[in-house]
Amino acid sequence: MPRPVPVRGVIEGFYGPPWSHAARLDLVAFVAERAMNAYVYAPKSDPRHRDRWRDAYEPAEAAQLAALAAACADAGVRFGFAISPGLDVDYRDARDRQILVAKLAPLLDGGVDWVVLALDDIANRPGLAVEQAELATWLASTLPAVRLTLVPTEYVGTHPSPYLAELAAGVPATVELMWTGPTVCSPVIDATAAKGWRAAIGDHPLVLWDNYPVNDTVMEAELHLGPYTGRAAGLTDELDGVLCNPMLQPHASKVALATAAEFLRDPAAYEPAAAWARAIDDVGGVRAEALGALARACADGPLVRSEHLVLHRLVADLEREAPTPDWPDGVARVRAELAALRAAGDAFEPDEPLGDEIRPWLDQAAREADAGLAALRLVQQVRPVATRDGSGAGRAVAPDPDAAMLHAFALLFAWMGARHGAPVVAGPRFALHAAIVQLPGGQPALDIDLALREDCSAIDRLCRVALGEYRAWVSEADAGLDVRAGLEVVHLDADGTFSADADTTVLVRCGSRSTLVRASSVLPFRDARFS
């Protein structure tokens, strides 16, 4: 039975605007309620964390860090402070070493006992690992009561390298080493991958810096609202800790973090779909239905490809059904999902923290849904359709060229509006992920297949389906209208009215295009052809 991960929590380690103090306090309380027990302060864009690491924090900033550490202690969450001096530190310089300790002193005096030395995202060079090991060894001996974690310059991969061998040999065995998995944002991390990394770092405790649901740098247009996936239950036996790197949006990050908390405390029982539903209910509250609609359209990213989105699957089904007489069923299913997405933005009031964070994606969702709904209306407009009452009597109409053309223009204009929006909803049109991997010799490389996502929009796919249907109809626009009940042709009056047995499904046809119509059935959209 896979064990819970001993250290499980959050590392605020993204590039971009750091969270507010209030957001951090809120997040600490949230994760504590879900049995997470760690929070590390490591925002890359805090100048005093990285670019100006030598500078002491202003009194107000220091007071907030002290208050955050105290809040963590009260909640049973261990507080870690990260410092990232790698851009310009002289590892062997006595003055830089003393500045580093002096920078940490106020926090240590306040009871902080966990320091993360982050030496990531800098250029590698010969001898770097030895110098870093010397600094880490000195820091561990200078601060013997402190738990020390090191983020190495090489932090991706699954096998040894010269850098890792030198670092592991030089750093005290008690120092934890961090790792992001096979790549920066790893779609899959399993026990085999972790064992490979353990072989590279020797006996050091291993902490996974899990870059999900983070959406910084090239991913800022994405909102990662899907559940925690791709981590095999057996992975937890190989790890001493997991710290999830959240999004720039603290409240929206709670959806993924809540699911991660469930996995990390009971990996064997974890069911992503059920955990996701609970997280959406918890985070969304009275807005859960709206949040769920957006989450279903923003559940893709580095861990999950866009074709697994609910909307993508529905559009794929419609693409198969569109040429058949059963097309209304497929259109109705897609319409229901798009209608929920279109309405999501209206559910959030101004000045709601969660709603304000996700507003760009809610607005884009409305634009995408408008384009998708226009596509569905066009699909209906190029079909012969009929209405019937309970007795079976009805009226059939053929496609109207003028109306169909107007619907085609409406689709094109709505689609243009959707394509101009930057936030990613229902799959990206073009997206990049930092898919750095490890070559056999330990050198870095870019996995192009993981890094590049293009033409993955479910809405683009739907619009192309609809325009394809319009193009096919144009080629036979002069076809006559007829109605059949089984093998028999049903008489049509001049205005298209007809009568058929109520228990019989009729087939309305124009050329190769047809629609099955049952008594009292309802079209996906109101249709002006019956006005």
How much of the chain, in percent, has pLDDT values that exceed 90? 96
Enumerate the active-site residues: 121
Q: CB–CB of 278/295 below 8 Å?
A: no
What confidence tens digit (pLDDT) does each residue in 17-38 have?
A: 999 999 999 999 999 999 999 9
- For the chain, residues classed under CATH 3.20.20.80 are 7-286
Q: How many angstroms separate the CA atoms of 251 and 247, rounded? A: 9
Residue 186 has pLDDT above 90, yes or no: yes
Q: How many angstroms separate the CA atoms of 225 and 235, rounded? A: 23
Structure tokens at 8: 């499980």
Q: How would you list the strands of the sheet with 497-498, edge to edge?
A: 385-388, 394-397, 497-498
Q: How would you list the strands of the sheet with 506-510, edge to edge?
A: 488-490, 481-485, 506-510, 513-517
With cut-offs at 50, 70 and 90, classify the pLDDT of residue 67.
very high
What average pLDDT is seen over the chain?
Answer: 96
DSSP string, 353-409: HHHHHHHHHHHHHHHHHHHHHHHHHHHHHTS-EEEE-TTS-EEEEPPPHHHHHHHHH
Residue 64 pLDDT? 96
- Show the 3-state SS of 363-375: HHHHHHHHHHHHH
User: How far is the CA of 419 from the CAs of 99, 414, 455, 470, in angstroms?
Assistant: 50, 9, 11, 20
What confidence tens digit (pLDDT) does each residue in 236-272 have?
A: 999 999 999 999 999 999 999 999 999 999 999 999 9
Residue 390 has pLDDT above 90, yes or no: no
Amino acid at residue number 475: S
DSSP string, 151-174: E-S----SS--HHHHHHHHHS-TT
| CATH classification (class only), 7-286 | alpha beta
Cα-Cα-Cα-Cα dihedral sign, residues 449, 455, 461, 465: negative
- The residue with greater pLDDT, 528 or 520, is 528
Paired with 242 in beta bridges are 8, 208
User: How far is the CA of 123 from the CAs of 53, 397, 443, 444, 451, in angstroms?
Assistant: 18, 69, 12, 11, 20
- The residue with greater pLDDT, 441 or 101, is 101
Q: How many angstroms separate the CA atoms of 499 and 516, rounded? A: 15
Residue 486 has pLDDT above 90, yes or no: no
| CA-based nearest residue to 221, from 27, 433, 449, 436 | 433
Q: Match 């001049």 to its residue by tokens.
A: 494
What confidence tens digit (pLDDT) does each residue in 445-470 have?
A: 999 999 999 999 999 999 999 999 99
Q: Within 13 Å of residue 418, how many CA atoms lie on the same side as its CB?
A: 31
Residue 130 has pLDDT above 90, yes or no: yes
With cut-offs at 50, 70 and 90, classify the pLDDT of residue 162.
very high
- For the chain, residues classed under CATH 1.20.58.460 are 307-530
What confidence tens digit (pLDDT) does each residue in 291-300 have?
A: 999 999 999 9
How many helices (H) and strands (E) the chain has is answered by 15, 19
Q: CB–CB of 234/188 below 8 Å?
A: no
In the chain, helix, strand, coil percent, each to 5?
45, 15, 40
Residue 1 has pLDDT above 90, yes or no: no
Give the β-pairing of 38-41 and 7-12. Answer: parallel
Residue 512 has pLDDT above 90, yes or no: yes
Amino acid at residue number 214: V
What confidence tens digit (pLDDT) does each residue in 90-107 have?
A: 999 999 999 999 999 999
With cut-offs at 50, 70 and 90, classify the pLDDT of residue 520.
confident
Average pLDDT over residues 110-133: 96
Average pLDDT over residues 157-174: 96
Q: CB–CB of 28/78 below 8 Å?
A: no
Structure tokens at 75: 């909640």
Cα 440 off chain centre by: 30
Residue 394 pLDDT? 93
Residue 531 has pLDDT above 90, yes or no: no
- Fold (topology level) of 307-530: Methane Monooxygenase Hydroxylase; Chain G, domain 1 (1.20.58)
Q: How many angstroms separate the CA atoms of 469 and 9, rounded? A: 50
Paired with 189 in beta bridges are 231
| CA-based nearest residue to 337, from 314, 360, 355, 359 | 314
Residue 10 has pLDDT above 90, yes or no: yes
Average pLDDT over residues 192-221: 96
What confidence tens digit (pLDDT) does each residue in 324-341 have?
A: 999 999 999 999 999 999
